[in-house]
Amino acid sequence: MSPSVPLQEMIRAIRSARTQCEERGVIQRECAAIRAQFRQSDNGGRSHNLAKLLYVHMLGYPAHFGQMECVRMIASPRYSEKRVGYLGAMMLLDEKQDASLLITNSIKNDLSHSNQYVQSLALCTLACMGSAEMCRDLAPEIDRLLRASNSYIKKKAALCAVHIVRKVHDLGELFTPAARSLLAEKNHGVLHGAVVLITELCERNQETLERFRKTVPDLVQIMKGLVISGYSPEHDVAGISDPFLQVRILRLLRILGRNNEGASDAMNDLLAQVATNTDSTKTVGNAVLYETVLTVLHIKSESGLRVLAVNILGRFLLNNDRNIRYIAMISLQKIVGTDHNAVQRHRGTIVDCLKDQDASVKRRALDLSLALVSASNVRSMMKELLLFLSSCPPELRAQAASGIFNAAERYAPSQRWHIDTILHVLTTAGGDVRDETVPNLIQLITNASELHCYTVHKLYRALLTDISQQSLVQVACWCIGEYGDLLLRGECQETEPVQVTEDDVLDALETVLQSHMSSPATRGFALTATMKLSTRITDNVDRIRSIVSIYGSCIDVELQQRAVEYNALFRKYDHMRAAVLERMPVIEKNSPGHTNGESTGEPIKDIQTLKVKQGEPLLPQQPANQVCDLLDLLGGSEVTLQPIPAVGGTAPGLFTNTSSTTGGDLLDLLGGLEPAPPAPAPTVQVYEKAGVALTLSCEKQSDSGLTVTLTASNSTDSDISSFTLQAAVPKSVQLHMKAPSGDSLPARGAAKVTQMVVLNNPNKVNLKMRIRISYSSQGSAFQDTVQIDSFPGLSAAGH
């Protein structure tokens, strides 16, 4: 076809402009000329003027003044003008423009034009930018064309129908009969269009899907024809006969076979055939295989077929083509939950992919490797993962570190291994770990009492090598503070003991204190550790005293406060120093001794007579799921802080939030901290106001233990957010609140929030509970309190 000279001249002129400014000038002149031309009535150059305008539009310049010209051109009887007019309509008009409605009539006329290429223009434009109104208007026309026209028009009408159904869902009904009959066509274009249309109809309407299930045998037949048939020059792509149609049919089969035994059975043989016979040397074959694998995995296929599918994915993993490896890993990730064993077989290849050059592949391999860690392979997998961590790209480090922690938490074969692993991660990627790692690790260490000596030795060595990783340094300081005496003793079964003097240890801590690399929190740790050592060493107490007094005038307020208080401990309360700085008790996760603590900012009311603040490191608090602010709730009287022997009073409290929140995080792999299923015990409604209702049920766990489940629901018309419950109980009762199921209550009871509370009543006092409910609804906050004096199902037990 001869090119448009005026258009090409303009393009040349624009391209030869040397600066943006020059280009703008050329374009402005041209646009002015075009506008002038548009105003004139019929002239020979209309189509090339519009084409010029469309080029200018593609460069990013405004072209809305061409919209009416498009409308005019579409109505022209000349094919060349129609062609450019419709192109302009597709580029400049969309359903939001008013002018688009004006072309509805032209489209309608052109749909019944005698020339099929004119019809095709109209169909194409309708499928591209037809608005819902236009679709409704023209749907009957399209239906007519679907039934009675040549294949060229039928295939276009089918896709037009797809667009109409997407815009106006109800019209799906209109096209269903025609779609069904189109499956009998031989022409691939029409067949493809028909399959797309049926897929669209089935995805939108469950009933239609049921009806089209009967077509599964026909589809299987068509596929067989494509797979087995010999070389067909018209549709062949690298040895595969019409891969586009094959993939579409496979997708439709997937939708029809999902959750349906009968349909799945009917396609089993075919899928096996496609999976084994398709040539996988080129991308196109792999595209078909990929679709087949997806179909097999989503329908109710027999296990042999599933294994075949996973093996195909395994083969993909070994493919040289990076794209195919990536695809394989994405698919394996999706099925690692359901077909875990099958995927495990390819673990070796997946782990190798951790070393791939491509960042996307690495990321997928990491996700998959973490999902594949199990009790049996944890040691070898962890070795690989730690190796990966040391060389992985920075954007993946945080994810890798937290994944390793989770896996270690779940499958650690021994405590020492667990501690080693965490230490390894902290040394390699200490900067990328989450904040809660530090308290978690500390808690782990205190629990492994036989490893205290080993741990403190290791950490001391780590501290000597590198003090830049804050998390590691914090843990190390804490350990040295706690177990410094073990370090100084110089004997250790698990590892090479270090001959270290008291001065060495104090030097190490002082280095941390003075280093500019240490964050304020770290320095806090170091100062406290130094202080603790005053009871564990014998000779250098004076040195400690001087260190502590120096920091009494430190600029950092936190350090200053600590130093001043420690000073006071030396001077006025020296007799209490030993007791205050005693070894900490073992912290248990989720133990009933936990109070769902106070956040750091809150002033802890003094329970002891000491004016000294507890000398424990105040760890960065995570926002508590349930701030059980007992003192606030009940006034001073019903304080339930567990009377732990003088020392560690609030210390466990500082760790509670972490355990309840991280407990939730870590256990997320197991499906989250699900609240207990609705107890078989009787449920009683304890609160009902303004549409918010709270019901309570309880279950006795042991002689003194009780689990209470609170369920909240919202029967108002507006959603409720930030819904929290706080609870308080009498003095001797221990309370622990688990993480709630959520904090939003959708309107009209669409979902509920459940909260489990574990109570321990060893003294068997009369059990009461006061609950504070707070939430926000429609932009304002609400708060209310309810007291529960009797618990259902308890009176029998005589509590």
Partner 1 sequence: MCMRFLLLFSRQGKLRLQKWFTPISEREKKKIIRDMTSMVLARQPRSCNFLHWKDLKIIYKRYASLYFCLAIENQENELLALEVIHRYVELLDKYFGNVCELDIIFNFEKAYFILDEFLMGGEIQETSKQMVNRSIEASDMLQETMEEYMSKPAF
Residues 218-257 that bind partner 1 (CB under 8 A): 234-235, 237, 242-245, 247-248, 251
Which residues share a beta bridge with 709? 697, 756
- State the Cα–Cα distance between residues 298 and 798, nearest whole angstrom: 54
Closest CB 245 distance from partner 1, rounded Å: 6
- State the Cα–Cα distance between residues 533 and 570, nearest whole angstrom: 13
- State the Cα–Cα distance between residues 122 and 456, nearest whole angstrom: 79
Closest CB 109 distance from partner 1, rounded Å: 17
Q: Which of residues 584-603 bind partner 1 (CB under 8 A)?
A: none
Verify binding: residue 193, partner 1, rule CB under 8 A. Answer: yes
Angle between helix 394-411 and 651-666 (nearest 10): 100
- State the Cα–Cα distance between residues 391 and 189, nearest whole angstrom: 51
Verify binding: residue 128, partner 1, rule CB under 8 A. Answer: yes
Closest CB 255 distance from partner 1, rounded Å: 10
Stretch of residues binding partner 1 (CB under 8 A), selected from 40-48, 440-448, 514-522, 583-591: 40-48
190 vs 425, which CB is nearer to partner 1? Answer: 190
Verify binding: residue 605, partner 1, rule CB under 8 A. Answer: no
**Residues 497, 501, 503, 506, CA torsion sign:** positive
Stretch of residues binding partner 1 (CB under 8 A), selected from 191-199, 558-566, 664-672, 729-737: 191-199
Q: What value, to the nearest 5°, has the Cα angle with vertex 595 and ends 598 and 639?
A: 85
DSSP 745: B
189 vs 705, which CB is nearer to partner 1? Answer: 189
Biggest CA–CA distance in the chain, Å, is: 108
**Cβ 784 vs Cβ 687: under 8 Å:** yes
Verify binding: residue 159, partner 1, rule CB under 8 A. Answer: yes
- State the Cα–Cα distance between residues 612 and 574, nearest whole angstrom: 12
Closest CB 94 distance from partner 1, rounded Å: 4
Helices (H), 20-98: 20-39, 46-58, 67-74, 79-92
150 vs 468, which CB is nearer to partner 1? Answer: 150
Closest CB 235 distance from partner 1, rounded Å: 5
Verify binding: residue 516, partner 1, rule CB under 8 A. Answer: no
Residue from 23, 35, 95, 273 touching partner 1 (CB under 8 A): that is 95
Q: Provide the token pair at 731.
A: 């003095």
Nearest Cα to Cα of residue 772 among 761, 760, 781: 781
Closest CB 148 distance from partner 1, rounded Å: 20
Verify binding: residue 174, partner 1, rule CB under 8 A. Answer: no
DSSP 759: E
Verify binding: residue 357, partner 1, rule CB under 8 A. Answer: yes
- State the Cα–Cα distance between residues 418 and 396, nearest whole angstrom: 22
Residue from 35, 83, 113, 434 touching partner 1 (CB under 8 A): that is 83
Verify binding: residue 114, partner 1, rule CB under 8 A. Answer: no
Verify binding: residue 354, partner 1, rule CB under 8 A. Answer: no
196 vs 521, which CB is nearer to partner 1? Answer: 196
Verify binding: residue 27, partner 1, rule CB under 8 A. Answer: no
User: What is each CA distance from 395 to 361, 467, 632, in whole angstroms?
Assistant: 13, 23, 43
Closest CB 8 distance from partner 1, rounded Å: 5
- Look at the block and give the residue holding tokens 């993480």: 739
Nearest Cα to Cα of residue 288 among 235, 214, 349, 209: 235
- State the Cα–Cα distance between residues 34 and 26, nearest whole angstrom: 12
Residue from 32, 65, 78, 611 touching partner 1 (CB under 8 A): that is 78
Verify binding: residue 98, partner 1, rule CB under 8 A. Answer: no
From residue 307 to residue 326, the character string flagging contacts with partner 1 as x (rule: CB under 8 A) and all else as - is ---------------xxx-x
Residue from 180, 188, 306, 346 touching partner 1 (CB under 8 A): that is 188
- State the Cα–Cα distance between residues 153 and 49, nearest whole angstrom: 30
Residue from 361, 529, 712, 758 touching partner 1 (CB under 8 A): that is 361
Verify binding: residue 358, partner 1, rule CB under 8 A. Answer: yes
Say how many C-beta atoms besides its own lie within 10 A of residue 310's C-beta.
24
Pairs from 91-96 (Cβ < 8 Å, separation ≥ 24): 91/54, 91/57, 91/58, 92/54, 92/57, 92/63, 92/64, 92/66, 92/67, 93/67, 93/129, 94/129, 95/129, 95/130, 95/131, 95/132, 95/134
- Look at the block and give the residue holding tokens 């990491």: 366
DSSP structure string for 661-719: HHHHHHGGGGT--PPPPPPSS-EEEEEEETTEEEEEEEEE-SSSEEEEEEEEEE-SSS-
Residues 6+ apart with CB under 8 A from 497: 457, 490, 491
Residue from 22, 29, 33, 94 touching partner 1 (CB under 8 A): that is 94
Q: Which of residues 273-302 bind partner 1 (CB under 8 A)?
A: 283-284, 286-287, 290-291, 294
Size of the site for partner 1 (CB under 8 A): 76
Stretch of residues binding partner 1 (CB under 8 A), selected from 357-365, 394-402, 583-591, 755-763: 357-365
Stretch of residues binding partner 1 (CB under 8 A), selected from 50-58, 345-353, 657-665, 747-755: 50-58
Closest CB 169 distance from partner 1, rounded Å: 16
From residue 556 to residue 585, the character string flagging contacts with partner 1 as x (rule: CB under 8 A) and all else as - is ------------------------------
Verify binding: residue 58, partner 1, rule CB under 8 A. Answer: yes
Residue 388 burial by Cβ neighbours in a 10 Å radius (0-12, 13-18, 19+):
buried
Q: Which of residues 370-429 bind partner 1 (CB under 8 A)?
A: none
235 vs 424, which CB is nearer to partner 1? Answer: 235
- Look at the block and give the residue holding tokens 């609240």: 675
Verify binding: residue 79, partner 1, rule CB under 8 A. Answer: yes
Residue from 72, 154, 155, 738 touching partner 1 (CB under 8 A): that is 155
291 vs 436, which CB is nearer to partner 1? Answer: 291
**Residues 570, 573, 578, 580, CA torsion sign:** negative
238 vs 751, which CB is nearer to partner 1? Answer: 238
Closest CB 385 distance from partner 1, rounded Å: 22
185 vs 556, which CB is nearer to partner 1? Answer: 185
Strands 769-777 and 720-728 come out as antiparallel
78 vs 764, which CB is nearer to partner 1? Answer: 78
- State the Cα–Cα distance between residues 668 and 671, nearest whole angstrom: 5
- State the Cα–Cα distance between residues 618 and 525, nearest whole angstrom: 8
261 vs 279, which CB is nearer to partner 1? Answer: 279
Stretch of residues binding partner 1 (CB under 8 A), selected from 78-86, 307-315, 372-380, 632-640: 78-86
Stretch of residues binding partner 1 (CB under 8 A), selected from 92-100, 138-146, 477-485, 677-685: 92-100
Closest CB 86 distance from partner 1, rounded Å: 9
Closest CB 90 distance from partner 1, rounded Å: 8
**Residues 21, 23, 24, 28, CA torsion sign:** positive
User: What is each CA distance from 703 to 643, 729, 759, 797, in whole angstroms?
Assistant: 21, 18, 11, 9
Stretch of residues binding partner 1 (CB under 8 A), selected from 152-160, 498-506, 559-567, 758-766: 152-160
Verify binding: residue 38, partner 1, rule CB under 8 A. Answer: no
Stretch of residues binding partner 1 (CB under 8 A), selected from 6-14, 492-500, 655-663, 734-742: 6-14
Verify binding: residue 5, partner 1, rule CB under 8 A. Answer: yes
Verify binding: residue 171, partner 1, rule CB under 8 A. Answer: no
Angle between helix 104-111 and 67-74 (nearest 10): 30
